[in-house]
Amino acid sequence: MVSAAIGLAFLPLLLTLIIRYRYYFVLFYRAVLLRVWHDCRSGLSREERAYQYVLTHATPGDPESILNAFDAWCSKVEYISNIGPKKGMILDRLLMEQSPLTVLELGAHCGYSTVRIARALPLGARLYSVEMDQKNAAIAEKILRLAGFDDDTVELIVQPSDEVIPQLRSDYGIERLDFVFMDHWKKCYRPDLQMLEGSGLLGKGSMIVADNVLFPGAPKFLRHIRKSGLYEWKIHQAMLEYSRGIRDGMAELVYMGVN
Q: Is the dihedral of CA 188, 190, 196, 199 positive or negative?
A: negative
Does residue 186 carry a catalytic annotation? yes
Task: Determine the Cα–Cα distance for residues 191 and 184; give it in Å rounded to an integer.
Answer: 12
Task: Determine the Cα–Cα distance for residues 127 and 121; give it in Å rounded to an integer.
Answer: 9
Please pick, among 136, 212, 248, 252, the residue that the annotation labels catalytic: 212
User: At a CB cut-off of 8 Å and minimum separation 6, what does 197 contact?
Assistant: 228, 230
Q: What is the pLDDT of residue 2?
A: 45
Task: Determine the Cα–Cα distance for residues 134 and 68; give it in Å rounded to an integer.
Answer: 25
Does residue 211 carry a catalytic annotation? yes
Does residue 92 carry a catalytic annotation? no
Please pick, among 48, 211, 248, 252, the residue that the annotation labels catalytic: 211
Please pick, among 47, 105, 133, 241, the residue that the annotation labels catalytic: 241
Task: Determine the Cα–Cα distance for residues 203 and 34; give it in Å rounded to an integer.
Answer: 44
Are β-strands 177-182 and 154-157 bridged in parallel, bridged antiparallel, or unpaired? Answer: unpaired
| Nearest alpha carbon to residue 75 among 65, 64, 85 | 85
CATH number of 84-255: 3.40.50.150
Does residue 183 carry a catalytic annotation? yes
Domain ranges in the chain are 2-76, 84-255
Please pick, among 183, 192, 248, 252, the residue that the annotation labels catalytic: 183
Does residue 197 carry a catalytic annotation? no
Please pick, among 186, 197, 248, 252, the residue that the annotation labels catalytic: 186
Q: What is the pLDDT of residue 136?
A: 96
Q: What is the pLDDT along the chain (259 residues), one digit of tens a residue?
A: 546 666 566 666 656 666 677 888 889 999 999 999 999 999 999 999 999 999 999 999 999 999 999 999 999 999 999 999 999 999 999 999 999 999 999 999 999 999 999 999 999 999 999 999 999 999 999 999 999 999 899 999 999 999 999 999 999 999 999 999 999 999 999 999 999 999 999 999 999 999 999 999 999 999 999 999 999 999 999 999 999 899 999 999 999 986 5
Are β-strands 126-130 and 202-210 bridged in parallel, bridged antiparallel, or unpaired? Answer: unpaired
